[in-house]
Structure 1
Amino acid sequence: MRCLRVSNCFRVALLGAGLALIASQSAVAATGQMGGMDMGGGAKKPMASPPATATVNFGGQQVVIKYNTPSMRGRKIMGGLVPYGQVWRTGANPATTLITPVPLHIGALLVPAGTYTIYSLPDPKEWKLIVNKQTGQWGTEYTQGMDLGRVPMKGKTLDRPQEVMSISFDGTKGNETELHVRWENTDEFVKVTTP
């Protein structure tokens, strides 16, 4: 573009730079909105399976399980959404994570201090709890070759259906507790101790 006067060239260049700046700021704002950031201050929809934590203390050391809590929402869970005979993520969304600063016995399985993923193998007769060494993955990513081990769980039927799945440590006394997985009419549990 040819400018007849220097002052006109300066004005055209300044106007072009201003429009470019406005366009780039609009693009950044749009990218933020698409990335899940609420730039407009609107209300956010709650997660369908919000995160939860189960904790227990052994000798001042906290053992933590981080998981997400799916809900029944009118669905058949055991033998339906959670099929029998197939490995289940034991939660929702990211893999359920066990973090222990101390060695544990989960059932008869010795679990060294560290971070692990918890899966389960539901069965109408006897569930198995799976402790897996792979961590940080999505809950549906399971590699059997990374299993530290599998332990049988005991089960009982809940008096009434439990809408939201939960993991908890119950009946803690000294260096002993029970790890419970509850959902729908199912309560599966295994003894956990420190060696």
Structure 2
Amino acid sequence: MQRYLTFVVLFISISATKAQEVTERSSPLALARARYKDAYIKITYSQPAKNGREIFGKLVPYGQIWRTGANEATEILLTKNILINNQLLKAGVYTIFTIPNKDKWTVVINSDFGLFGSYNYNPKLDVFRFDVPVQQLNVVYEPLTIQIDQRNELANILIMWDNVSIAIPIKFFN
């Protein structure tokens, strides 16, 4: 009985510590969602904050693969096939990596998921890559913000941080 009680106390203690670690993250978990008819998209990411730092070219180096957020790599879940930048992406779960540069970003859709950061990124699992232009903003986004700007079957996944934005075009099927 004593062993059982010790195990239970230890388990509760470890679980509470893990729960506290998740709730005390400096980069909170965030979601972007969209629905069109019976198709649903959900993007799960962690929101790092600018906190007075120089972001692109410094904290997030140019020309290097980035998890597109903090903590776990950014994931996209699709319940139906969509077109993303006019390329077919089948229903499933994927990771969105990016390679930021000053004038354009390379968006990488990768079939691996459940990754922490981009440390175990495997380019052999890329579904496809494409480039999108960078837009300079007149406002500063303190936290990294991902939104889905939807207009019926057409939408843009917007990734905004600091004074920079990219738009990833998507199209839902009827």
Moved more, 44-53 or 124-133: 44-53
Q: Which amino acid aligns with 1:164?
A: P
RMSD of aligned Cα (Å):
2.1
Aligned to 1:175: 153
Candidates 92, 95, 104, aligned match of 1:126? 104
1:161 to 123, 140, 145: 140
Give the aligned residue type for 2:166.
E
Distance across 1 between alignment mates of 2:152 and 2:10: 54
- For structure 2, which runs of at least 5 residues remain unmatched after alignment? none
Q: Residue 132 of structure 1 aligns to which amino acid in structure 2?
A: N
Q: Are the counterparts in 1 of residues 33 and 148 from structure 2 also a CA contact under 8 Å?
A: yes
Aligned AA for 1:59? K
Moved over 2 A (4+): 23-33
In the alignment, is the contact (CA less than 8 A) between 1:65 and 1:96 conserved in 2?
yes
Q: For residues 81-100 of structure 1, what are the structure 2 equivalents within 5 Å? A: 81-100=59-78
Amino acid at match of 2:123: Q
Aligned to 1:32: 12
Asked if 2 retains the 8 angstrom alpha-carbon contact of 1:66 and 1:98, the reply is yes
Superposition TM-score, scaled by structure 1 size: 0.79
Shift of 1:144: 0.5
Bigger Rg, structure 1 or 2: 1
1:121, 1:80 → 2: CA distance? 13
- How many angstroms apart in 2 are the aligned matches of 1:184 and 1:77? 7
Q: Gapped runs of 5+ residues in structure 1?
A: 1-19
Percent of matched pairs sharing the same residue:
28
CA 1:185–1:27: 2 relative to 1, 3 Å = same
Deviation at 1:155, TM superposition (A): 2.2
Instruction: Report the TM-score when normalising by structure 2.
Output: 0.88
What SS does the aligned partner of 2:165 have? strand
| CA deviations over 1:79-116 (Å, ceiling 9, x no partner) | 11110000100011112111101111111321111111
